């Protein structure tokens, strides 16, 4: 115990014996040790749990999908490389200086301020700063503070998907002076522009960190009792210059029209003005330091003199009121004092104004240079608006605005969204080559039952209190359409106890199938013939909340519902200490299983299962659907497509491409990757995504069932509605823009096009904001094994004009 604590204890309880003091010290030490041990145990358990989960996922996806989970989420360890680089760039400063601690010292203490850390404190502070920054960047996924995904860009560069050279850098920064650059030329620079984002993220992180440090020192200077206006102005201009540098570094992402070069030039001149002004203020601070001090001294003297004159006026009045002065003497002396006071006040106000405006009294050349630069920076946007802006909204719209900028936005947005090859024809082509006999035959296959009607028809076929229908989907099987609804769990029923949730209700049983034409339920022998299987359909991996938790199979003491036994390889086998740790963390209901060998199935929701192994820039379609192979095995088809945000301002949609479908075995959880049957691009990031997974060629039995992803299709339609217009005047008028009918949804149907039956995704389109909600046409995307991935628009004969009722008008 310390001497002070002993004295306080003695005051309260009397003198403390030496043995008591030693005993109290030991208790205090023991409590501290126990506290540290508890903290270390908690941290150790947390770290072990994290590594255990990593091992579970690594083992599961390596055996079930053939992919390296650790490599995916760490981006081949580029996550750590990027985080270290960003941390170092954020910490570049003088070794024994801390702007944050200096500001904190200024704000909390009145005495001497912390300006320089000791070596010991500097090492401790840098260690804490590095740890905090590294944790921040790792947890953020390796993103720079300005939004660039440095970690993923490092991965793309290592795979050769992106690269940049000096010539391309020059081209990117001179595009504002070359507005005639073609859309193809801009598109060819996209990989270089993405590689540029890597370096931009690193550079901008350093700039932002530097700007923050200067800003903190500026705040500290403003809090000081005596401010140095020259230094404050220089720091403010330095921050302005850094902001302008960031703006200039963003020039390669601009869209360009005839007048954009003036905005670019204004930024360059503004940057030059900020740097010149900041240096000039620092120079003035050096050269005018003594004069400034003399000014401050003179101001203090004048303030003292002004106070003295005021005091004399008060004394003079007191003498007059006491009768010591005559009226005439009082008036004369008051007039003299007021004249002196007026002169002193005028000089004091002049000096204060000169102190507030540092330009006053500065060299004439500096003032003229500053005024000139300010005028140039202000005039360039005005000239741009008056000369280019007015004409681009008038007779130069096509030449200066549409051809230079909008036309390239249309072409590059079409390319980015993957609709650049969209075929445009008329509604008449839908019925070309049609024959009466063919139309009659077609009517026997066309879909009559929609999703809502089929759901109402199928929901009473479940027959148990622990299952319910999952989302029903159209499946094209054996050249016919069926509504197939897998079964999912009634979550409230299966989660009533630990045993129910994790040991008994491990799977659902059966499928509900309905003929989309007749509305007949497909059961018994018909179902066996359709699926080519007689075994019970046990779904361990599916859709819905009930598949969101782990289950344990082959436990021996507990029978799964329906007396079914899991026949596949478990995702992971817990044993020994792993089993004890895992079950202990599941709560007291699981403690009776501590230490037992347990076969575990995890990540059983098929969408989440696939998402877990996707690189950044990939996503899944939310609507998984059932797929059946020739042997009767049941899979969930989870569509995967590229959804990568581009940095060029010309693209008004992310880079979208259908990559392929992942089949998740509904019984075993095995994952097979099949590439898209459509012609894929070998440009940009497609190469990395194609090489990263064990993609297989799509077999014919699968291609006949594949649907174009609904989420991707609707994203592409949103672009096609507007960016199919390529005429400048039509674009300006907006007369041929489209929109989807209110409440519309993608329809997967069998459609007769040009006398040929095709399995397609279809959407009606109306003219945008049309009062009559007139039909503009029909967008069709090929599915199955006929024209897969080919987008076509069948429109009215004359663009922007239709008397046909759209779906919205038809229901009124």
For residue range 170-213, what is the model confidence (pLDDT) as tens digits?
999 999 999 999 999 999 999 999 999 999 999 999 999 999 98
Q: Locate tokens 């998402």: which residue?
A: 611
Q: Give the residue-averaged pLDDT of 717-734.
A: 94
Residue 709 has pLDDT above 90, yes or no: yes
Of 103-112, 156-165, 402-411, 670-679, least confident by mean pLDDT is 103-112
pLDDT attached to residue 297: 77
Q: Long-range contacts made by residues 374-377, C-beta under 8 angstroms, separation at least 24?
A: 374/273, 376/266, 376/269, 376/273, 377/266, 377/269, 377/270, 377/273
Residues 301/294, Cβ–Cβ less than 8 Å? no
d(CA 345, CA 151): 64
pLDDT attached to residue 341: 82
Residue 365 has pLDDT above 80, yes or no: no
pLDDT attached to residue 302: 82
Mean of the per-residue pLDDT values of the chain: 85
Q: Phi and psi dihedrals of 182, rounded to 5? A: -75, 165
Q: Give the residue-averaged pLDDT of 460-485.
A: 86
Residues 549/501, Cβ–Cβ less than 8 Å? yes
Residue 811 has pLDDT above 50, yes or no: no
pTM of structure: 0.83
d(CA 7, CA 298): 56
Residue 773 has pLDDT above 90, yes or no: no
pLDDT attached to residue 809: 42
Kindly tell me the sign of the dihedral angle through the C-alpha atoms of 583, 586, 587, 588. negative
Residue 384 has pLDDT above 90, yes or no: no
Q: Give the residue-averaged pLDDT of 463-469.
A: 83
Q: Phi and psi dihedrals of 35, rounded to 5? A: -60, -45
Residue 2 has pLDDT above 50, yes or no: yes
| Residue among 155, 167, 245, 248 at smallest CA distance from 198 | 155
Q: Which residue has the higher pLDDT, 85 or 9?
A: 85
In the chain, % of residues over pLDDT 70: 87
d(CA 160, CA 142): 19
Residue 20 has pLDDT above 70, yes or no: no
Residue 515: in which H helix or E strand, if any? strand 511-515
pLDDT attached to residue 348: 79
Q: Give the residue-averaged pLDDT of 578-600.
A: 91
Q: How confident is the model at residue 755 (pLDDT cuts 50, 70, 90)?
A: confident
Q: Which residue has the higher pLDDT, 684 or 64?
A: 64
**Cα angle vertex 248, ends 244, 251, to 5°?**
145
Q: Give the residue-averaged pLDDT of 278-290.
A: 71
**CB neighbourhood size of 498 (10 A):** 17
Reading across the β-sheet that carries 551-553, which strands appear in turn?
551-553, 598-601, 572-574
Residues 516/465, Cβ–Cβ less than 8 Å? no
Residue 797 has pLDDT above 70, yes or no: no
CA-based R_g, the chain, Å:
38
Q: Which residue has the higher pLDDT, 450 or 693?
A: 693
Q: How confident is the model at residue 402 (pLDDT cuts 50, 70, 90)?
A: very high
pLDDT attached to residue 599: 94
Q: Give the residue-averaged pLDDT of 112-133.
A: 79
Residue 793: in which H helix or E strand, if any? strand 791-795
Q: How confident is the model at residue 360 (pLDDT cuts 50, 70, 90)?
A: very low
Q: How confident is the model at residue 115 (pLDDT cuts 50, 70, 90)?
A: low
DSSP state of 567: -
Residue 792 has pLDDT above 50, yes or no: yes
| Residue among 347, 360, 111, 356 at smallest CA distance from 227 | 356
Residue 160 backbone class (left: φ over 0; alpha: ψ -120 to 50; beta: rest): left
Residue 293 has pLDDT above 70, yes or no: no
pLDDT attached to residue 106: 65
Task: For residue 626, give the 3-state DSSP assignment.
Answer: strand
Q: Give the residue-averaged pLDDT of 758-775.
A: 86
Residue 160 has pLDDT above 70, yes or no: yes
Q: Long-range contacts made by residues 639-646, C-beta under 8 angstroms, separation at least 24?
A: 639/707, 639/709, 639/712, 640/610, 640/614, 641/709, 641/711, 641/712, 642/617, 642/618, 642/685, 642/686, 642/689, 643/617, 643/618, 643/619, 644/617, 644/685, 645/617, 646/190, 646/194, 646/416
pLDDT attached to residue 810: 41
Q: Phi and psi dihedrals of 706, rounded to 5? A: -70, 135
d(CA 581, CA 594): 8
Instruction: Please classify residue 10 by burial: count the beta carbons closer than 10 Å to its beta carbon, then call 0-12 exposed, 13-18 middle and 19+ buried.
Output: exposed
Of 290-299, 474-483, 646-655, 663-672, least confident by mean pLDDT is 290-299
| Residue among 272, 300, 288 at smallest CA distance from 360 | 288
Residues 719/651, Cβ–Cβ less than 8 Å? no
534-550, pLDDT tens digit by residue? 888 899 999 988 899 99
Kindly tell me the sign of the dihedral angle through the C-alpha atoms of 606, 611, 613, 614. positive
Tokens representing 368 are: 């003229």
* 675 DSSP β-pair partners: 660
SS3 content of the chain, % helix, strand, coil (to 5): 55, 15, 30
């Amino acid at each position: 115990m310390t001497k002070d604590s002993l004295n306080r204890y003695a005051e309260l309880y009397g003198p403390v014996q030496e043995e008591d003091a030693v005993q109290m010290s030991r208790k205090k030490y023991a409590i501290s040790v126990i506290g540290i041990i508890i903290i270390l145990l908690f941290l150790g358990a947390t770290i072990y749990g994290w590594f255990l989960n990593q091992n579970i996922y690594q083992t599961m996806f390596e055996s079930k999908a053939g992919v390296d989970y650790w490599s995916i989420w760490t981006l081949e360890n580029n996550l750590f490389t990027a985080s270290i680089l960003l941390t170092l760039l954020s910490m570049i400063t003088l070794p024994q200086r801390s702007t944050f601690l200096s500001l904190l010292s200024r704000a909390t203490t009145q005495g001497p301020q912390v300006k320089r850390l000791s070596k010991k404190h500097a090492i401790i502070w840098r260690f804490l700063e590095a740890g905090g920054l590294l944790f921040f960047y790792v947890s953020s996924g390796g993103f720079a503070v300005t939004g660039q995904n440095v970690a993923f860009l490092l991965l793309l560069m290592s795979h050769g998907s992106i690269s940049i050279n000096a010539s391309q850098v020059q081209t990117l920064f001179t595009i504002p002076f070359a507005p005639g650059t073609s859309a193809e030329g801009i598109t060819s620079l996209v990989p270089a522009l993405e590689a540029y984002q890597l370096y931009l993220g690193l550079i901008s992180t350093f700039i932002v960190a530097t700007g923050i440090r200067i800003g903190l020192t500026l705040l500290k200077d403003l809090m000081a009792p005596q401010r140095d206006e020259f230094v404050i102005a220089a720091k403010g201009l330095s921050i302005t210059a850094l902001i302008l540098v960031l703006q200039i570094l963003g020039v390669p992402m601009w869209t360009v029209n005839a007048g954009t070069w003036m905005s670019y030039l204004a930024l360059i001149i503004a940057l030059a003005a900020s740097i010149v002004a900041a240096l000039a203020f620092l120079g003035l601070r050096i050269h005018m330091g003594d004069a400034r001090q003399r000014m401050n001294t003179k101001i203090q003297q004048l303030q003292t003199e002004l106070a003295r004159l005021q005091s004399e006026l008060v004394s003079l009045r007191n003498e007059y009121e006491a009768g010591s002065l005559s009226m005439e003497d009082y008036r004369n002396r008051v007039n003299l004092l007021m004249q002196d006071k007026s002169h002193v006040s005028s000089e004091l106000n002049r000096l204060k104004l000169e102190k507030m405006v540092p330009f006053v009294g500065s060299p004439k050349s500096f003032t003229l240079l500053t005024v000139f630069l300010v005028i140039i920076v202000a005039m360039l946007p005005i000239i741009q608006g008056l000369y280019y802006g007015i004409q681009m909204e008038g007779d130069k719209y096509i030449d200066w605005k549409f051809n230079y900028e909008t036309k390239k936005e249309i072409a590059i947005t079409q390319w980015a969204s993957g609709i650049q090859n969209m075929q445009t024809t008329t509604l008449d082509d839908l019925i070309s080559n049609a024959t009466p006999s063919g139309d009659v035959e077609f009517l026997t296959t066309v879909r009559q039952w929609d999703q809502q009607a089929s759901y109402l028809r199928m929901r009473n076929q479940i027959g148990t209190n622990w299952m319910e229908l999952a989302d029903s989907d159209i499946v094209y099987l054996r050249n016919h359409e069926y509504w197939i609804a897998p079964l999912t769990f009634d979550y409230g029923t299966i989660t009533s106890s630990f045993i129910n949730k994790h040991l008994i209700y491990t799977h659902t049983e059966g499928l509900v199938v309905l003929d989309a034409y007749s509305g007949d339920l497909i059961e018994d022998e018909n179902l066996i013939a359709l699926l080519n299987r007689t075994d019970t359909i046990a779904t361990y991996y599916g859709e819905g909340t009930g598949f969101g938790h782990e289950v344990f199979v082959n436990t021996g003491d507990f029978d799964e519902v329906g007396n079914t036994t899991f026949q596949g390889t478990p995702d992971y086998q817990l044993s020994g200490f792993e089993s004890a740790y895992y079950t202990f963390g599941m709560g007291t209901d699981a403690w009776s299983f501590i230490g037992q060998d347990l076969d575990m199935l995890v990540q059983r929701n098929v969408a989440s299962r696939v998402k877990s192994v996707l690189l950044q820039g990939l996503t899944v379609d939310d609507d998984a659907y059932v797929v059946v192979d020739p042997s009767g095995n049941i899979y969930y088809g989870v569509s995967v497509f590229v959804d990568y945000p581009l940095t060029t301002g010309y693209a008004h949609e992310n880079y979208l491409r259908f990559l392929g479908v992942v089949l998740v075995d509904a019984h075993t959880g095995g994952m097979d990757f099949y590439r898209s049957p459509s012609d894929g691009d070998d440009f940009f990031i497609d190469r990395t995504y194609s090489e990263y997974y064990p993609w297989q060629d799509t077999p014919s039995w699968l291609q006949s069932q594949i649907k174009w992803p609904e989420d991707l299709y609707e994203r592409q339609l949103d672009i096609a509605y507007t960016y199919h217009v390529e005429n400048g005047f039509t674009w300006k008028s907006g007369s041929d823009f489209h929109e989807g009918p209110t409440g519309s949804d993608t329809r997967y149907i069998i459609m007769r096009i040009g006398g040929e039956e095709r399995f397609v995704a279809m959407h009606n389109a109306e003219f945008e904001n049309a009062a009559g909600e007139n039909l503009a046409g029909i967008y069709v995307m090929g599915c199955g094994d006929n024209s897969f991935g080919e987008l076509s628009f069948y429109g009215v004969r004359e663009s922007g004009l239709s008397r046909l009722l759209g779906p919205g008008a038809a229901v009124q």
